[in-house]
Amino acid sequence: MRILLIGLALISSSLLSAQDVYTQENTEIHDAEAEKITKAYDVQLSLDANQFVLFEKKVEEFLIKRAKIEANYSGKYKLDMLYRMQARESVEMKNILTRPQLEVYDRIKNEIQPLKEIE
């Protein structure tokens, strides 16, 4: 019984850490890109200081996920994965943005962060 509980604890902790931007492979390129994207959104969203930091970290988290998808998949499947990832990002922004900000975010997201087309 004890081994089972320890095993479950290890599995759940590894799953939780996989969602954390700090434990993912982070590069200066992702940092710079997240800052650039956040500043582009900030022009129209007027983020407060706390929102800016949270928004930037969330964008960075999804940039890392996007890079992994682009490296490991191709064609229509890759586009489908990117679309689902982008939809998940929008859902998670509900925890950071106010309702009016979220409406603007949804409207301008494809201008600032467009999906690629199938080649």
Show me where the domains of the chain are located: 25-112
Percent of the chain with pLDDT over 90: 66
Q: What is the mean pLDDT of residues 51-62?
A: 96
- Nearest of 108, 39, 116, 40 to residue 85 by alpha carbon: 116
- Nearest of 92, 91, 22, 33 to residue 67 by alpha carbon: 33
This prediction's pTM: 0.74
- Local structure of residue 115 (DSSP, 8 states): P
Q: Name the residue with higher pLDDT: 15 or 99.
A: 99
- Comparing 5-14, 45-54, 73-82, which segment has the lowest mean pLDDT? 5-14
- Residue 27 predicted with pLDDT over 80: no
| Beta carbons of 37 and 113 less than 8 angstroms apart | yes
